[in-house]
Chain A
Amino acid sequence: MANIKLKKGLDIKIKGKPQNETLPLNSRTYALTASDFIGLSPIPKLLVNIGDEVKAGTPLFFDKKNPDILYVSPVSGEVVEIRRAAKRAIDEVVILADNKMTYLPLERIRISSASREEVVKHLQATGCWPFFRQRPFNIIAHPNETPRDIFISGFDTAPLAPDLNYVLEGQKDDFQAGVEVLRKLTKGKVHLSVNGAVPSSKTYTEIKGIELHTVTGPHPAGCVGVQIHHIAPINKGDVVWTISPQDVLALGRVFNHGQYNTERLVAVAGTCIKKPAYYKTYIGASIESLVADNLTDEHVRFISGNVLSGKKVARNEHLGFYHQQLSVIEEGDKYEFLGWLLPSYPRPSLSRTFTGFLSPSKEYNVNTNTHGEHRAMVLTGAYEDVTPMDILPMQLLKAILANDLDMMEGLGIYEVVEEDFALCEFVCPSKTDVQHILREGLDIMQEQS
Chain B
Amino acid sequence: MNFLRKQLDKVKPYTEKSKFLHTAYDAFETLLFTPKTVTTGLGTHIRDGLDLKRTMVSVVIALQLCLLFGIFNIGHQHFAAFGMYEGYTDGLLYKLLYGLLQILPLIVVVHVVGLGIEFYFASKKGHGVEEGFLVSGMLIPLIMPPDVPLWMVAISVVFAVIIAKEAFGGTGMNILNIALTARVFVFFAYPTYISGDNVWVSFDYNFLHQIFGLHHLTAGNMANVVDGFSGATPLALAAKGGWEAVVQKYSVSQMFWGDIPGSIGEMCKPAIIAGALMLIVTGIGSWQIMVSMIAGLLFMGMVFNGYASSVPEASPFLAVPFYYHLIMGSFLFAMAYMATDPVTAAQTQTGKWIYGFSIGVMGMIVRVLNPAYPEGWMLAILFMNVFAPLIDHFVIQANIKRRLKRSHA
Q: Name A's B-contacting residues (CB within 8 A).
A: 12, 14, 159, 233, 235-238, 301, 303, 307-312, 327, 329, 331-341, 343, 347-354, 366-382, 384-385, 390-392, 394-395, 410-412, 418, 422, 425-431, 433-436
On whether A373 and B46 interact (CB within 8 A), knowing A233-B406, A332-B36, A378-B171, the answer reads: no
Q: What per-residue 1/0 map shows which CB atoms of B131-142 lie under 8 Å from chain A? A: 110000000000
- In the bound complex, do residue A370 and residue B348 qualify as a contact, i.e. CB atoms below 8 Å apart? no
Q: Closest CB of chain A to B40's CB: distance in Å?
A: 7
- In the bound complex, do residue A307 and residue B45 qualify as a contact, i.e. CB atoms below 8 Å apart? yes
- In the bound complex, do residue B47 and residue A431 qualify as a contact, i.e. CB atoms below 8 Å apart? yes
Listed by A's residue number, 13 A-B pairs whose Cβ atoms lie within 8 Å are A12-B46, A310-B45, A339-B34, A368-B39, A371-B51, A372-B34, A372-B35, A376-B173, A380-B284, A392-B395, A426-B46, A429-B50, A435-B44
Q: What per-residue 1/0 map shows which CB atoms of B368-409 lie under 8 Å from chain A? A: 000000000000000000000000100110011011101100
- In the bound complex, do residue B55 and residue A378 qualify as a contact, i.e. CB atoms below 8 Å apart? yes
B190 at the interface (CB under 8 A from A): no
Name 13 extra pairs, CB < 8 A, besides A372-B47, A392-B348, A427-B50: A235-B403, A332-B38, A351-B284, A353-B283, A368-B46, A369-B37, A370-B38, A372-B53, A373-B51, A375-B172, A378-B343, A384-B349, A428-B47
Complex CA distance for A75 and B74, rounded to whole angstroms: 79
Q: Closest CB of chain B to A369's CB: distance in Å?
A: 6
B170 at the interface (CB under 8 A from A): yes
- In the bound complex, do residue B47 and residue A426 qualify as a contact, i.e. CB atoms below 8 Å apart? yes
Which of A159, A307, A310, A390 sits near B399, CB closer than 8 Å?
A390
Complex CA distance for A212 and B44, rounded to whole angstroms: 31
Contacts of B32-66 to chain A: CB distance below 8 A: 32-55, 57-58
B128 at the interface (CB under 8 A from A): yes
On whether A347 and B49 interact (CB within 8 A), knowing A332-B36, A336-B33, A411-B399, the answer reads: yes
Q: Closest CB of chain B to A91's CB: distance in Å?
A: 15
Q: Closest CB of chain A to B325's CB: distance in Å?
A: 27
Q: Give me the 10 closest cross-chain CB pairs, A-B, nearest first.
A: A372-B51, A339-B34, A312-B41, A235-B407, A410-B400, A376-B172, A347-B49, A340-B53, A368-B38, A335-B33
Residue of A nearest to B343 (CB): A378
On whether A350 and B283 interact (CB within 8 A), knowing A370-B39, A372-B53, A378-B172, the answer reads: yes
Residue of B nearest to A308 (CB): B44
The residue among B58, B169, B403 with the most chain A CB atoms within 10 A of its own CB is B403
On whether A370 and B171 interact (CB within 8 A), knowing A235-B407, A340-B57, A430-B52, the answer reads: no
- In the bound complex, do residue A337 and residue B4 qualify as a contact, i.e. CB atoms below 8 Å apart? yes
Residues of A within 8 A of B54 (CB): 340-341, 353, 372, 429
Complex CA distance for A159 and B36, rounded to whole angstroms: 23
- In the bound complex, do residue A411 and residue B128 qualify as a contact, i.e. CB atoms below 8 Å apart? no
B210 at the interface (CB under 8 A from A): no
On whether A337 and B33 interact (CB within 8 A), knowing A351-B283, A379-B347, the answer reads: yes
Residues of B within 8 A of A237 (CB): 407
Q: Name B's A-contacting residues (CB within 8 A).
A: 1, 4-5, 30, 32-55, 57-58, 127-128, 130-132, 169-173, 281-284, 286, 342-343, 347-349, 352, 392, 395-396, 399-400, 402-404, 406-407
Q: Closest CB of chain B to A64's CB: distance in Å?
A: 27
Complex CA distance for A336 and B41, rounded to whole angstroms: 21
- In the bound complex, do residue A354 and residue B37 qualify as a contact, i.e. CB atoms below 8 Å apart? no
The residue among B1, B43, B46, B283 with the most chain A CB atoms within 10 A of its own CB is B46
Complex CA distance for A114 and B54, rounded to whole angstroms: 61
- In the bound complex, do residue A394 and residue B400 qualify as a contact, i.e. CB atoms below 8 Å apart? no
Complex CA distance for A369 and B51, rounded to whole angstroms: 12
- In the bound complex, do residue A376 and residue B130 qualify as a contact, i.e. CB atoms below 8 Å apart? yes
Which of A310, A347, A369, A395 sits near B347, CB closer than 8 Å?
A395
- In the bound complex, do residue B45 and residue A303 qualify as a contact, i.e. CB atoms below 8 Å apart? yes
Residue of A nearest to B55 (CB): A429
- In the bound complex, do residue A436 and residue B42 qualify as a contact, i.e. CB atoms below 8 Å apart? yes
Q: Closest CB of chain A to B399's CB: distance in Å?
A: 6
Residues of B within 8 A of A348 (CB): 46, 48-49
- In the bound complex, do residue B348 and residue A395 qualify as a contact, i.e. CB atoms below 8 Å apart? yes
Complex CA distance for A12 and B49, rounded to whole angstroms: 12
- In the bound complex, do residue B343 and residue A311 qualify as a contact, i.e. CB atoms below 8 Å apart? no
Residues of A within 8 A of B33 (CB): 335-339
Residue of B nearest to A423 (CB): B44
- In the bound complex, do residue A369 and residue B283 qualify as a contact, i.e. CB atoms below 8 Å apart? no
On whether A425 and B44 interact (CB within 8 A), knowing A343-B49, A352-B283, A372-B51, the answer reads: yes
- In the bound complex, do residue B347 and residue A375 qualify as a contact, i.e. CB atoms below 8 Å apart? no
Residues of A within 8 A of B55 (CB): 351, 353, 378, 380, 429
Q: Closest CB of chain B to A377's CB: distance in Å?
A: 6
The residue among A329, A333, A337, A436 with the most chain B CB atoms within 10 A of its own CB is A337
Complex CA distance for A374 and B26, rounded to whole angstroms: 13
On whether A394 and B347 interact (CB within 8 A), knowing A340-B54, A412-B403, the answer reads: yes
Q: Closest CB of chain B to A135's CB: distance in Å?
A: 15
